[in-house]
Structure 1
Amino acid sequence: MALAVLVAAVPRSKVDEAAAACGVAEQPRDGELPPHMTAYLTMALCLFSDDGAEEVAQKLTGVLAQFGVWDAAWEPPTSSGITRARKRLGRDVLRETFYRVAEPVAADETPGAWLRDWRLMAIDGFEVDVPDSAENAAEFGYAGNDRSRSAFPRARVVAVVECGSHALIDAEVGPWNRSEETMVAALLPSVSADWLLLADRGLYSFAAFGAAAQTGAALCWRAPTQLSLPVLKVLPDGTYLSALVDPGLRGREREELLQAARSGAKPDPAAAHVVRVVEYDVPDHDGGELVCLITTVTDPEAATAAELAAAHHRRWEEEAANRQVKTVLHGPGRVLRSKSPDLVHQEIWAHLLVRHAINSLICQAATGAGIDPDRIGVPRTLNIVRRTATGAVAFPT
């Protein structure tokens, strides 16, 4: 079933298209794994992260034969053979595969996937520890500084995620010292106008917010604590209009811009953005926390303050679910397998593909049962997938 899940979410035709686009030969020499086999085996290495490469290959050869991509007369590849095959595949094939298969999977009836006519989407970032080799250190760098740095080099991943299904839609991978705000810009071309795009305060910058607004999507981001939000107009529901002003504008120029905005003039997007501010309290161990949301949905009738607050809570649920998938799939405190930058990139994209496939499966099952995908546990789903991966599989691809 595990390979059925991967093949359903990551069809071989997409893998072949990606390999061709990257110039990877489809017909290797005798005894070498072809690109599509290497791609699925790399994804399987992520699915069985506790096992060595040869053990994973042994587990899968019987299943692969039933899918018509393995000859029972062949010997399973050795660890060194798998590494050579992965090097031939390169860093880009699985990335290109991801771009071809990653798309929203929530249906119209999926609970928690929508706010009115907007599809709830979020931008989220996380870090991945990679093996401490000289090549990886040079490519990705360490977190912290010379006095106190991370034990391993770290790669940074920023992804666009569908909140209802937790499926990954787009992603950018880079070194640890590349800022999340910079990486967000590379993801904006995939943003659709029918989305309500959510983001946490760590991703905010005037430039990033402005660039996201230009996509036509509705935005609802949490404001950084230090962000100045002057009151332009108090709305009947207790929210208020404010202006995000280019931090380069100061003094009289800034005041004139705010005065014009209070009079109803629409500012130049290069200088400022009029937003609606939604503030609410969340109880925590300190007795209360003020959450401040900034949104381009300025009409309270288009979305109430309560609806926007609930939508942002879906972003928190998505972040928690992503952490759970990362912890359960990859394992807590574990570094990746790959000791070279090309294979690190390849392995990260394999992980993202597997996560997309698993979340797609969960969403489809939940939607069919009429329940919220959050109610289906990631650990149990992974156990079912892993357990059935090595059994007799009769499911059509």
Structure 2
Amino acid sequence: MTLRVQILKDKFSQSLGLPFKELLPESVIRLAISELKIKYKKRLFDPFVTLWAFLSQVLDTDKTCHNTVSKIIAHLAESEVEVPSTDTSAYCQARARLPEKLLENIFNFSAQSLEEKVRTEYLWCGRNVKVIDGSTVSMPDTVENQKEYPQPSSQKEGCGFPIAKIGVIFSLATGAAIALCIDVLNTHDIKLARRLYSFLKPNDVLLGDRAFCAYADMFAITKLGCDAVFRKHKSRKTTMQKGKIVGDCDKLVTWYKPKTCPKGLSKDEFDALPPSINVREIYYNIVIPGFRTERVSLITTVLDKSSYSTLAIVGLYGQRWDVELDLRHLKTTLGMDILRCKTPSMVRKEIYVFLLAYNLLRSLMWDAGTTYTTPPLRLSLQGTRHHLINFIPKLLAATSTKRLRVYRTLLKVIAHKAVPDRPARNEPRVRKRRPKAYPLMTKPRHELRKQLQTA
């Protein structure tokens, strides 16, 4: 057993381990296990092998457990050891044994490690910008999933899928996921955001849309030593009659504490709010054909116009769209939109592993971009995944001296072709490919089966 485990560890360290040796070394996993005081038996699927197999599973286009176990058998086939059974139950049980907190801690470490690589030239006005947004993921329709993450109330019982709401903070400089929280579908974005503010560091700038623009949150962010740039909530009116004009379409205004406690705040939290705060309001018009929004009003706690010009803040908010692309990469490119696990605990673990794999790809893009002087955010995440999967057999076959050269070649091909810069690109929101001519499910499957039998 010990020999088989060591063989697999060597294989993973030569393939997945080499590109990510700085971001996810075995020592980090070992330290996380030690901190959580996790005890495990000496078996084939120990925490190290299981985590690396889980990572390779979400990175692959075929995400079945059977495909993952087949890879493990293939790794062991060339060695003179007994290969494991093709049955997936041992691997599935090993994934279930992985503590959720372990995956969360390793994900947090991966985010922090990549953030430490960011140099001053990649910052906005010398400051690190974090972008926040919310999204949803669906999962198999099981009793356990429905109980913890119910389907939309508008759908009939048995006709929908459980859906979870996620809130994510991304780094604007690296594109990496920094923090995550998971809740039920009807959770407001701002409630998720309040659970994520603790991941901000002093002097960070938090960028988001108007869902996060609230009096209490502006104060909470500044209290952490950070600043916020949000689009103004539609319930607030824009007027030039109030505030101090500091530039074209730029003014300082005073916001006053709400008269009643907003939903989501406790009475103590509401009482702790100051009677007023000063914010900066910037508004501008969009004249690009095809854009739905014609006028944008921004609210920010960045008050120093001499250090942060109007155009700099407007340009920064223009980059907020990057968070939509990051979420699309997670959900569409990597396939996190529809999860596969059948229990809530495993669903959360699966999400953490997806974000960990996403960060590992971002680390490859960062190394490739900085090594070959190409902007890392202009590189293709899908292309990076393809190159990594195709290079893994070469990394496995190479000797220790040749492996570094193969890895440098991998970085070079990743950086070879940057994604075109297409500012103000707009496309009609229509679908060309027609859906299949089948009706939607309006009754539970067992009722529809009975109809077929009695027809």
Normalised by the size of structure 1, how large is the TM-score?
A: 0.84
Question: Paired residue for 2:246?
Answer: 235
How far does residue 227 in structure 1 lie from its aligned partner after superposition?
A: 2.1
| Matching of residue 44 in structure 1 with residue 60 in structure 2 | no
1:13 to 24, 27, 31: 27
The aligned amino acid for 2:38 is V
Give the superposition deviation at 1:392: 4.3
Q: Aligned residue for 1:245?
A: 256
Q: Which residue of 2 aligns with 1:279?
A: 283
Aligned partner letter, 2:144:
E
SS of residue matched to 2:364: helix
Counterpart Cα distance in 1 of 2:80 and 2:303: 61
Q: Distance in 2 between matches of 1:362 and 1:293?
A: 32
Following TM superposition, by how much is the alpha carbon of 1:74 offset from its aligned partner in structure 2, in angstroms?
4.2
Partner SS state of residue 9, structure 1: coil
* Corresponding residue for residue 258 of structure 1: none
Whether the 8 Å CA contact 1:144–1:150 is kept in 2: the answer is no
- The one-letter code sitting in structure 2 at the alignment partner of 1:380 is G
Identify if the C-alpha distance between structure 1 residues 16 and 49 changes in structure 2 by more than 3 Å, giving closer, same or farther.
farther
| 1:205-257 Cα distance to aligned partner (Å, 9 max, x none) | 3222221221111211111122245622111343011233333269xxxxxxx
Task: For residue 139 of structure 1, report the CA deviation from its aligned partner.
Answer: 1.1
State the shift of 1:136 in Å.
0.6
For residues 254-273 of structure 1, what are the structure 2 equivalents within 5 Å? Answer: 270-273=274-277
* Cα distance change, pair 136–310 in 1 and its aligned pair in 2 (3 A): same
Q: Which residue of structure 1 lines up, in the alignment, with residue 307 of structure 2?
A: 302
After superposition, residues 335-346 of structure 1 pair within 5 angstroms as 335-346=338-349
Alpha-carbon distance in 1 for matches of 2:307, 2:32: 41
For 1:26-65, what per-residue CA distance to the aligned partner results, in whole angstroms no more than 9, with x for missing partners?
4x15x45111211111122211142421322332566699
Instruction: Give the direction of change, closer, same or farther, for the CA distance of 1:65–1:326 in structure 2 (3 Å limit).
Output: farther
The higher radius of gyration belongs to 2
How far, CA to CA, are the matches of 2:223 and 2:77 in structure 1? 49
* Contact kept? 2:257, 2:276, Cα under 8 Å: yes
Q: Are the aligned partners of 1:172 and 1:183 in contact in 2 as well (CA < 8 Å)? A: yes
Equivalence map 1:1-397=2 (5 Å): 1-26=15-40, 28-29=41-42, 31-60=43-72, 72-75=81-84, 78-103=87-112, 104=115, 107-108=118-119, 113-146=122-155, 151-228=160-237, 231-248=242-259, 270-282=274-286, 283-285=288-290, 289-330=294-335, 335-393=338-396, 394=398, 395=403
User: CA shift at 1:164, angstroms?
Assistant: 1.9
Is the 8 Å Cα contact of residues 2 and 386 (structure 1) preserved in structure 2? no
Quote how far apart the aligned CAs of 1:327 are.
Answer: 0.8
Whether contact under 8 Å (2:210, 2:233) holds in the other structure is yes
Gaps of 5+ in 1: 251-267
Q: Which amino acid aligns with 2:133?
A: D
The answer on whether the counterparts of 2:244 and 2:253 sit within 8 Å (CA) in structure 1 is yes
Give the letter for the 2:118 counterpart: A
Q: Which runs of no fewer than 5 residues in structure 2 stay unpaired?
A: 1-14, 262-271, 408-455
1:277-336 Cα deviation digits (max 9, x unpaired): 1112222426752111111111211111111111112221232233134311117xx521
Letter in 2 for 1:38: T
- How many Å separate the matches in 1 of 2:29 and 2:230? 35
Alpha-carbon distance change, 3 to 148 in structure 1, aligned in 2, over 3 angstroms: same
- Judge conservation of contact 1:142–1:150 (CA < 8 Å) in 2: no
Shift in CA distance, 212/121, structure 1 to aligned 2, threshold 3 Å? same
| 2:190 alignment partner, SS class | helix
RMSD value, Cα: 2.9
Q: Label 1:83 to 1:288 Cα distance change in 2 as closer, same or farther (>3 A).
A: closer
Cα pair distance change 1:286/1:164, threshold 3 Å: closer
> 1:88 offset after TM fit, Å?
1.3
Report the more deviating stretch, 375-384 or 277-286: 277-286
When structure 1 is superposed on structure 2, of 125-134 and 309-318 the one drifting more is 309-318
Cα distance in 2 for residues equivalent to 1:307 and 1:215 = 23
Task: Give the secondary-structure state (helix, strand or coil) at the position aligned to 1:118.
Answer: coil
